Structure 1
Amino acid sequence: MIRPDGKVEMHVTGVDGTACVEHTDQLVGLLGGEVESQELTADAYVQTEADTAVDEQNRLWH
């Protein structure tokens, strides 16, 4: 949403884990690359299969 003051507000839904940040990186860059604030929703804290695989690999290396 573009607010009356010209600032852009994004709400990402349907993406578990922090992949939402990766999905919006290009758009943020096109809009100037400056993020004033960021608030993660409960979906960001859902552990995905990719997160689980990284956790398992990290345990193997430690």
Structure 2
Amino acid sequence: MAEEIIEVTISPKGKVEVHLRGIAGMGCVEETRELFALLGDDVESQELTPEAFAEVSQEQQNRLWS
């Protein structure tokens, strides 16, 4: 299993960036929900990486072959 890493960077102006690695599928959204709540739930933007869609694609493939 890959190591799961959540990297938080806070700029001198207070901008917070969160980057996740090693979390496949939409689990990344759940993994960061509490963190975002602690930071005030003020999410300016969110970009999902190809890793986020890995699990979804597999589920779709399974439905096609079932």
Aligned residues: 52
Larger relative contact order, structure 1 or 2 (CA cutoff 8 Å, min sep 6):
1
- Residue 9 of structure 1 is matched in structure 2 by 17
Percent of residue pairs bearing the same amino acid type: 48
Deviating 4+ runs (over 4 angstroms): none
More strand by share: 2
Gaps of 5+ in 2: 1-8
Q: Read off the aligned partner of 2:30 and give its amino acid letter.
A: E
More helix by share: 1
CA RMSD of aligned residues (A): 1.8
Gaps of 5+ in 1: 57-62
